[in-house]
Amino acid sequence: MAEIRLHPVIFLVSVTLIIIVLATMTRTLQLLRSRGHKQFRQLKRERHKTQRHLAIIDKHILMANTDANGKVTKASTAFCEHTGYTKEQLKSGTLARLIPDENSSSLLQQRYQEASQKGLVSVEAQEKNAYGGLYWVKLQIEPQYDRNANLIGFTEIREDISTQKKLEELWMTDQLTGLYNRSRLDELFEAELRRANRYGTQFSLLLLDIDHFKQINDTHGHLVGDDVLYAVANLLQSNIRDVDILGRWGGEEFMLILPNTNQSEALILAEKLRNTLRDHPFTAVSKVTASIGISSYIAGVEADELFKRADDALYRAKAKGRDRVELGMVSIPNPNEQSRDRSA
């Protein structure tokens, strides 16, 4: 058999090519390994970053997850600290335990149903913690689905707004009596009027003024006068319905907004309040009476006219001897009319 001989040049070129190929493969492997290490380090950094974010959420965000039936499956540490419940306690039931209402379970299911229909529910609600303390939250509920669009549960995120609610309460509350102040009464009066105009419902307005209040201040002092105002506010509040709105309009004058109440029903209540005040044994003064003016809603009548009718009726009650109730009548506003002094 003939021996195969390679030309030295060809041999040298072949060896060189093999070396180049091996070097290229080695460099490629080194680059791939380096890139793999880089990607691994990047993934590791991203994982640590995600873990830090999750830790921040767990520590600061009031978040809980439930299954489709509302049973708690997960709760953040912040949620547990805020509510006073351990994660084990929360996972043993639903978040209905936070709702201070005898129909808490039903209310919770209503929220979940609405969230399922709308995709998101956002409400402001009062809740109670494990110790019975009450607080306010802004609550958002979002449904969660699997890949097949099957409902698997809900995510609830809360923000404590108790401080905000306290500030709102201070803004809308008369500091002496604890009733709504004039600014808040204006808002509620306008809201009730809009509701009546839209749905054709009835409501009435009462203006109540304490008789001879200036004499009480002059004779017994302003501290006694404040005590009388506070006592009158409590008496009025305890003799009206939960849906009725009571506030201090200013000075010794109070306003009552009575939803779903016609003129006859308002008259009955006004007489009841007048008699209650007259017969009540006030501590520092022998007797306290009040005059009351009534105005009832009529379709198409503006807010200013409704208030003027009650105000005019109150003035007539004062003019006719006080300690009496007068019904408002439709009147024509007079821009030249002077303000009336009922301080006596």
State the pairing for strand pair 325-327/290-296.
parallel
Model pTM score: 0.60
- Please return the burial class of 88, using the count of CB atoms within 10 Å of its CB with bins 0-12, 13-18 and 19+: exposed
Residue 277's pLDDT is 95
The whole-chain average pLDDT of the chain stands at 87
Sheet holding 134-145, edge to edge: 72-75, 62-67, 151-160, 134-145, 121-128
| pLDDT tens, position by position, 41-58 | 677 677 776 677 767 778
Q: Quick one: fold of 173-327?
A: Alpha-Beta Plaits (3.30.70)
190 is catalytic: no
The answer to whether residue 213 scores a pLDDT higher than 80 is: yes
Whether the pLDDT of residue 93 is over 80: the answer is: yes
Instruction: Tell whether the model's pLDDT for residue 328 goes beyond 50.
Output: yes
Assign domain 61-166 to its CATH architecture: 2-Layer Sandwich (3.30)
Instruction: Identify which of 208, 219, 209, 237 has the alpha carbon closest to the alpha carbon of residue 286.
Output: 219
Cα dihedral 183, 184, 188, 193 in deg (nearest 10): 0
**Per-residue model confidence (pLDDT) at position 338:** 46
* Of the candidates 209, 193, 202, 199, the residue with the CA atom closest to the CA atom of residue 305: 193
Cross-strand bridge partners of residue 70: none
pLDDT at res. 4: 55
Domain(s) labelled CATH 3.30.450.20 in the chain stretch across: 61-166
Q: Is the pLDDT of residue 174 over 70?
A: yes
Better pLDDT: 282 or 204: 204
Q: 191-209 pLDDT, tens per residue? A: 999 999 988 899 999 999 9
The candidate with the shortest Cα–Cα distance to 296, out of 331, 324, 269, 261, is: 261
pLDDT greater than 60 at residue 333: no
d(CA 102, CA 135): 17
Give me the pLDDT at residue 5, please: 59
More confident residue, 325 or 166: 325
CA 204 to chain centre: 27
| pLDDT at residue 2, rounded to an integer | 53
**pLDDT tens column, 1-31:** 455 555 666 667 676 777 777 777 777 777 7
pLDDT at 293 exceeding the cut of 70: yes
pLDDT, tens digit, 9 for 90 and up, residues 229-260: 999 999 999 999 999 999 999 999 999 999 99
Query: How many Cα atoms are found within 13 Å in the side-chain-facing hemisphere of 116?
Result: 16
Q: Answer yes or no: is pLDDT of 59 > 70.
A: yes
pLDDT at 20: 78
Phi, psi (rounded to 5 degrees) for 240: -125, 170
Catalytic site residue from 127, 156, 192, 252:
252
Say how far apart CA 63 and CA 54 lie, in whole Å: 12
**In three state form, how does the secondary structure of the chain look?**
CCCCCCCHHHHHHHHHHHHHHHHHHHHHHHHHHHHHHHHHHHHHHHHHHHHHHHHHHHHHCEEEEEECCCEEEEECHHHHHHHCCCHHHHHCCEHHHHCCCCCHHHHHHHHHHHHHHHCCEEEEEEEECCCCCEEEEEEEEEEEECCCCCEEEEEEEEEECHHHHHHHHHHHECCCCCCECHHHHHHHHHHHHHHHHHHCCCEEEEEEEECCHHHHHHHHCHHHHHHHHHHHHHHHHCCCCCCCEEEEEECCEEEEEEECCCHHHHHHHHHHHHHHHHHCCCCCCCCCCEEEEEEECCCCCCHHHHHHHHHHHHHHHHHCCCCCEEECCCCCCCCCCCCCCCCC
What is the average per-residue pLDDT within 300-321? 93
